[in-house]
A and B are shown apart, each in its own frame.
Chain A
Amino acid sequence: MTAIAHEPHRPNQTHAEVTRDVLATLSTPSRGYYMALFTAIFMFLVGLFTFVMLLKEGLGLAGYTPPVMWSVYITTFVFWIGIGHAGTLISAILFLFRSPWRTVVYRSTEAMTVFAVMTAALFPIIHIGRQWIFYWLLPYPNERFLWPNFKSPLLWDVFAITTYFTVSTTFLIVGLIPDVSAIRDKVTGWRHKVYKMFSLGWTGADSQWRHYNKAYIYLAALATPLVLSVHSVVSWDFAMAIIPGWHGTIFAPYFVAGAIYSGIGMVLTLLIPLRKVLKLEHMMTDYHFDNLAKLTLLTGSILFYAYAMEYFVAWYSGNAFEQTTFWRRAFGPMWWAGWSMIICNAFVSQLLWFKKIRTNLTALFIISLFINLGMWFERFVIIASSLSNDYLPGAWQNPVVTWADWGILIGSFGWFFMYFLLFARTFPVVAIQEVKEMIPFPRKHGGGH
């Protein structure tokens, strides 16, 4: 059908070709894939070594010094939680909005979400100090005088992140089931047995689709407010405290926009090389990246507004502590972090107003790296700069960052990329079933694919 070829969201393939092309991504990987995987494993081992040293020597190795104490670890924790936001936004919110361009990219972003939250979940364990009694974190009343303070946003965060991880993982697994059954029917030997087990008896019968389709809509509807709530709760970890630079009502929408912005940045960083390595250029086209870039521009512009508002409110409030904090962010000893955040996030994203940049994948990849860097700096600025100059000038001190901070940061990237690469090799990174749903079946008198 000629009209179909002119609809950019609709793939120009037949149903059989979609299965074949996606299945090809699971065949013997290229050298580039192995190089990426070994680099990720090496980075993870750097993190593991650092963690062992932290266990042996104690958290002083990470330069824990008042008043900032945890700087890089909390920064990296919030960074990874933020990364996890784009996945569910693209898979759930854009599903409800019926945005057809999400179909090809959403599986990778969902997987990214799960692995990013898994990475973030390491951090409370890393920086509690005595990891062997981590279960003390669990909120239950007991005889050890541990008090679950349900009024604390830190405890809300435990519930929010645990729920987010569970629902995102469920969403990913539910979406994978029909695709795993398509692989099961194409492979032989031990792989057939493994995929058969994971397909949970799925055959694509009408009695299965009937319940599945409804369930998918309900899961998307449940995940949508969850996306907005999780980073709002993370923001309240800061905003409910009276530290200058934290205590703002703008924090929830500011954090949500920032999280989605950083998540899409990471999606671009992952997908641009991945489409080449897995030879998916004909499926993930300029059209998809153009839309991802537009979403980046939207969230980047919200962030630009939030940054401007933070400075305006600090000035307009007349509060000397707020004014000092924001003055020092721009011109104090940590000016380099403050300007990195503003340039990488607020200004670099504005380049995406130009279609030539949005459809130039090299430019988009470079911009995505700036976004990742800028969003890490944003969290570093919020945490370290506010804590380093609170109400007592005599206690002001810059954060102390040591090799153990960088070791864990590198390890977290290795852990994340390692899982993502293993996923891309084991499961389809493009949703076979949803792509097929967009391609009309052939008809008796022509038409369809």
Chain B
Amino acid sequence: MARKNVPGVLASFLQVDAAVDAITGLKSKGFRDLTVYTAAPNHEIDAALDHPVSWVRMFTLIGGLTGVTAGFAMTIWMSNDWPLLVGGKPIGTPVPYVAIAFELTVLYASLCTVAGVIILSLRKSLKGRPYHPSFSDDRIGIFVPCAPDQAPAVRDLLARAGSEEVTVHAA
């Protein structure tokens, strides 16, 4: 099945302040669902987009709490499930199990963080949105999804902001 394109306007910028002007202008006109491509993260663009804080931290927290619980639960349960007395030491004592619980905290938190990035990134589908290889090199790309009748106004705005190249994409 052919992928359905998202209609809109794609612009390519060399200068960061030009891209920031374009984002600010587009947001003031009510365009919120922008996709901005950069080869490296940039604070000016982040500030212009003004995204809320990523929820990936919740994945890290949940992973860490699961890890510490699993670490203590596994060691205490296994020790009591197969109780063998060695050196007169108590069975199922939590102090030496801190090492294992710590390692599992880090392990689970790390894996959940990566899972969080994947899940959260997939929430906004980029399918059908145009992309150009120069965006992973030295250009900044802005894609504005819009109806065909809005495209000329968007194209003008992007060109005025300093875009090098603007193309209109049909559905």
Question: Is B84's CB under 8 angstroms from A436's CB?
Answer: no
Question: Is B104's CB under 8 angstroms from A203's CB?
Answer: no
Residue B138 is within 8 A (CB to CB) of chain A in the complex:
yes
Collect the chain A residues with CB atoms within 8 Å of residue B89's CB: 151
CB distance from B146 to the nearest CB of A (A): 17
Known: A159-B100, A160-B99, A204-B39. A219 touches B17 (CB 8 A): no
Collect the chain B residues with CB atoms within 8 Å of residue A163's CB: 103-104, 106-107
Question: Is B113's CB under 8 angstroms from A209's CB?
Answer: no
Residue B62 is within 8 A (CB to CB) of chain A in the complex:
no
**Binding-face segment, B1-9, B24-32, B73-81, B150-158:** B73-81
Residue A166 is within 8 A (CB to CB) of chain B in the complex:
yes
Question: Is B35's CB under 8 angstroms from A207's CB?
Answer: yes
Chain A, range 191-245, C-beta contacts under 8 Å to B: 201, 203-215, 218-219, 222-223, 225-226, 229, 233
Q: Of A211, A223, A444, which one neighbours B162 at CB under 8 angstroms?
A: A444
Measuring CB to CB, which residues of chain B are less than 8 angstroms from any residue of chain A? Answer: 14-18, 34-42, 45-46, 49, 51, 53-54, 56-57, 60, 75, 78-79, 81-82, 84, 86, 89, 93, 96-97, 99-100, 102-104, 106-107, 109-111, 113-114, 116-117, 120-121, 124, 126, 129, 131, 133-138, 140, 162
Main secondary structure of the interface of B (DSSP, over half): helix
Collect the chain A residues with CB atoms within 8 Å of residue B35's CB: 205-207
Question: Is B137's CB under 8 angstroms from A16's CB?
Answer: yes
Beta-carbon contacts of A166-187 to B below 8 Å, as 1s and 0s? 1100110010001001101110
Known: A433-B40, A443-B16. A204 touches B102 (CB 8 A): no
Known: A225-B106, A434-B40. A203 touches B126 (CB 8 A): yes
Collect the chain B residues with CB atoms within 8 Å of residue A150's CB: 75, 78-79, 96-97, 100
**For the complex of A and B, 8 pairs with smallest distance between CB atoms:** A185-B133, A441-B16, A15-B138, A436-B40, A437-B40, A156-B99, A159-B103, A16-B138
In the docked arrangement, what's the CA distance between A339 and B65, Å?
Answer: 47
